């Protein structure tokens, strides 16, 4: 399902690593993102609600920011591209007005998502659309679903107003919440099979529990990232050669930055897309500062493909070729360009982008962050810097 091509970087793996000990440390932190995926009743509730809601509503609007929106956006952009899902992940009025114009309120379900139940941006969005629903003489309980922690302000509000509520387990942080209602409810609402997503995630967890240092892909990825950061390569470039995976860059940027950037330590994530950024960033990548690790993501067997007609007199294509074959050649060329300039790189390969492989890919990235946190000796699951910004915002609002 997923392979890791990392042969040229094997020398970076520690000798005789204690994977068992690292897993013990990770388990001791009691994080639920890799254990909660076995809660069948939780996911049955999501599926049942989504099945009924699809018959009743035309538009599904996510009111949330950061980890409360990115996983749903990733699932939609990668698997469906449904015009029925709308994500308001900012408080810029232009985005709100633009989205509102697309909606028919009577046929709209709003998903209010905030782990804490106190996110300023989300509360502002909710209050705006709550007012719109009231003015349209519609019932709040018919048009709002709340996703938050148990006993949060949003949970209390949902109970008081008889609105549907889905819990985010307390031991799952926002950026790790893709396999909770945060990511899966919006995904199920547009008809994507969340069972397959969870099946894929479980295969990655099985690999995560493997104690073999040459087979545990999340450990290998984290070990390479950590070793290279100690050599001054503190920037990681995520470089998917798959158009439908473009949103994974934004998803991983938050995951890596918010988890590992602490105590004057960390890795800076960067975004690139093949083959587009061969024509913009590759000059910097090959001949600029040698301070980066490049992480390619490659789809081996894409579902869609089309042939390139050989109709030009001086065509560079000397034999029949498809666009997906051309994209693979472009990736190989980029990889070889980096190798010739001694720029470290590895490739995460998926056989085909679908629910199972995307679920496995996301869980692989989650688990690699867990290993990376332990290698750095930091808590990968808190975000004190983010909290500080929120506290300052609240103080400014009181002035």
Q: Tens digit of pLDDT for each residue in 225-278?
A: 999 999 999 999 999 999 999 999 999 999 999 999 999 999 999 999 999 999
Asked whether residue 9 falls in the same domain as residue 42, the answer is no
Last residue of a domain, one of 133, 163, 192: 192
93 lies in which domain range?
36-192
Mean pLDDT of the chain: 95
SS3 string, the chain, reads: CEEEECHHHHHHCCCCCCHHHHHHHHHHCCCCCCCHHHCHHHHHHHHHHHHHHHHHCCEEEEECCCHHHHHHHHHHHHHCCCCCEEEECCCCHHHHHHHHCCCCHHHEEEEEECCCCCCHHHHHHHHHHHHHHHHCCCCHHHHEEEEECCCCHHHHHHHHCCCEEEECCCCCCHHHCCCCHHHHHHHHHCCCCHHHHHHHHHHHHHHHCCCCCCCCHHHHHHHHHHHHHHCCCCEEEEEEECHHHCCHHHHHHHHHHHHHCCCCCCCEEEECCCCHHHHCCHHHHHHCCCCEEEEEEEECCCCCCCEECCCCCCCCCCCCEEHHHHHHHHHHHHHHHHHHCCCCEEEEEECCCCHHHHHHHHHHHHHHHHHHHHHHCCCCCCCHHHHHHHHHHHHHHCC
Q: Tens digit of pLDDT for each residue in 90-130?
A: 999 999 999 999 999 999 999 999 999 999 999 999 999 99
Asked whether residue 51 falls in the same domain as residue 186, the answer is yes
Asked whether residue 156 falls in the same domain as residue 265, the answer is no
Residue tagged active-site, from 258, 299, 355, 374: 258
Give catalytic status of residue 206 as yes or no.
no
CATH code: domain of residue 169: 3.40.50.10490
Asked whether residue 281 falls in the same domain as residue 166, the answer is no
State the pLDDT at residue 313: 64
Residue 104: other Cβ atoms inside 10 A? 9
- If one counts the domains in the chain, the total is 2
Asked whether residue 260 falls in the same domain as residue 295, the answer is yes
Give catalytic status of residue 279 as yes or no.
yes
Last residue of a domain, one of 163, 192, 221: 192
Q: Is 127 within the bounds of a domain?
A: yes
Asked whether residue 231 falls in the same domain as residue 379, the answer is yes
Q: Tens digit of pLDDT for each residue in 30-78?
A: 999 999 999 999 999 999 999 999 999 999 999 999 999 999 999 999 9
Give catalytic status of residue 390 as yes or no.
yes
Asked whether residue 60 falls in the same domain as residue 97, the answer is yes
Asked whether residue 311 falls in the same domain as residue 173, the answer is no
Q: Tens digit of pLDDT for each residue in 142-196?
A: 999 999 999 999 999 999 999 999 999 999 999 999 999 999 999 999 999 999 9
Last residue of a domain, one of 192, 209, 231: 192
Task: Provide the pairing of β-strand 2-5 with 345-350.
Answer: antiparallel
Q: Tens digit of pLDDT for each residue in 288-333?
A: 999 999 999 999 999 989 998 887 767 787 788 899 999 999 999 9
Asked whether residue 178 falls in the same domain as residue 236, the answer is no
Asked whether residue 183 falls in the same domain as residue 205, the answer is no
Q: Band of the pLDDT at 349, cuts 50, 70, 90?
A: very high
State the pLDDT at residue 392: 85
State the pLDDT at residue 43: 96
CA distances from 291 to 229, 253, 280, 310, 381 (A): 8, 17, 18, 41, 26
Q: Is 140 within the bounds of a domain?
A: yes
Residue tagged active-site, from 279, 318, 395, 399: 279
Q: Is 393 within the bounds of a domain?
A: no
């Amino acid at each position: 399902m997923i392979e890791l091509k990392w042969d040229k970087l094997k020398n970076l793996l520690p000798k005789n690593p204690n994977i068992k000990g690292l897993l013990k440390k990770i388990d001791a932190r009691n994080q639920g993102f890799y254990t909660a995926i076995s809660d069948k009743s939780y996911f049955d509730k999501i599926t049942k609600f989504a099945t009924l809601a699809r018959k009743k509503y035309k538009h599904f609007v996510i009111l949330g920011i950061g980890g409360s929106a990115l996983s749903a956006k990733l699932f939609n952009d990668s698997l469906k591209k449904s015009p029925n899902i709308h994500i308001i992940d900012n408080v810029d009025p232009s985005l709100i007005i633009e989205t509102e114009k697309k909606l028919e309120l009577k046929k709209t379900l709003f998903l209010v998502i905030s782990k804490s139940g106190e996110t300023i941006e989300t509360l502002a969005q909710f209050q705006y659309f709550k007012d719109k629903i009231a003015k349209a003489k519609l019932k709040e309980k018919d048009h709002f679903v709340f996703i938050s922690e148990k006993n949060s302000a949003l949970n209390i509000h949902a109970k008081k107003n008889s609105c549907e509520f889905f819990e985010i387990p307390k031991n799952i942080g926002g950026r790790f919440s893709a396999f909770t209602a945060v990511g899966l409810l919006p995904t199920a609402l547009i008809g994507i099979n969340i069972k397959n997503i969870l099946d894929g995630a479980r295969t990655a967890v099985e690999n995560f529990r493997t104690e073999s240092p040459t087979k545990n892909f999340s450990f290998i990825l984290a070990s390479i990232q950590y070793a290279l950061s100690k050599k001054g390569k503190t920037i990681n470039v995520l470089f998917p050669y798959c158009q439908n995976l473009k949103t994974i860059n934004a998803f991983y940027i938050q995951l890596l930055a918010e988890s590992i950037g602490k105590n004057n330590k960390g890795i800076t994530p960067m975004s690139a897309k093949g083959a587009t950024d061969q024509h913009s960033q590759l000059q910097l990548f090959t001949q600029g500062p040698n301070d980066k690790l490049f992480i390619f993501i490659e789809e081996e067997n894409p579902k869609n493909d089309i042939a390139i007609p050989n109709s030009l007199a001086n065509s560079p294509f000397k034999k029949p070729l498809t666009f997906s074959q051309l994209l693979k050649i472009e990736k190989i060329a980029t990889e070889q360009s980096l190798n010739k300039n001694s720029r470290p790189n590895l490739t995460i390969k998926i056989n085909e982008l679908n629910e199972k492989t995307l679920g496995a890919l996301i869980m692989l990235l989650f688990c690699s962050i867990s290993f990376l946190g332990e290698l750095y000796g930091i808590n990968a699951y808190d975000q004190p810097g983010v909290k500080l910004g929120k506290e300052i915002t609240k103080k400014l609002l009181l002035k």
